[in-house]
């Protein structure tokens, strides 16, 4: 966790830390409820790894996802190590339970 924060290669959006193909949910509700009583790694964070289904040889580019707050979406740049084309994956914010219709 410390290495992710020191690198600066993440996006913090509404209590969710997005980096590469992983997401960490910061549990503010449990911090308020329990304070500093428990092991913070077990209690205050939910970690989700390999969120996107990637093909063999695909990697998420560094400094991704790119946040588009205006359209409530994240953009992932996928690079193929086998010489294939670069791809963009647009996903809505995972923490919102709304659909934003844009022109």
- Domain assignment present for 27: yes
- Domain assignment present for 100: no
- Domain assignment present for 17: yes
Digit-coded pLDDT (tens) for 4-46: 888 888 888 888 888 888 888 888 877 777 776 555 555 678 8
- Domain assignment present for 25: yes
> What is the number of structural domains in the chain?
1
Q: State the Cα angle at 11 between 8 and 17, rounded to 5°.
A: 100
**In which domain, by residue range, is 27 found?**
2-92
pTM of the model: 0.70
User: What are the residues whose beta carbons fall under 8 Å from the beta carbon of 44, sequence distance 6 or more?
Assistant: 26, 27, 30, 31
User: What's the token pair of residue 34?
Assistant: 């329990």
- Answer for the pair 36, 42: CB distance below 8 angstroms, yes or no: no
- Domain assignment present for 37: yes
- Domain assignment present for 97: no
d(Cα 84, Cα 2) in Å, to the nearest integer? 33
- Domain assignment present for 102: no
């Amino acid at each position: 966790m410390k290495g992710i924060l020191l690198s600066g290669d993440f996006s913090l959006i509404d209590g969710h830390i997005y980096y590469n193909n992983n997401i960490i949910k910061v549990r503010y509700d449990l911090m308020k409820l329990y304070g500093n009583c428990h092991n913070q790694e077990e209690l205050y964070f939910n970690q989700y790894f390999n969120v996107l289904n990637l093909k063999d040889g695909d990697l998420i580019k560094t400094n991704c996802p790119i946040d588009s707050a205006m359209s409530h979406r994240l953009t992932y740049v996928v690079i193929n190590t086998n010489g294939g084309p670069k791809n963009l994956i647009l996903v809505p914010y995972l923490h919102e339970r709304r659909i934003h219709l844009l022109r």
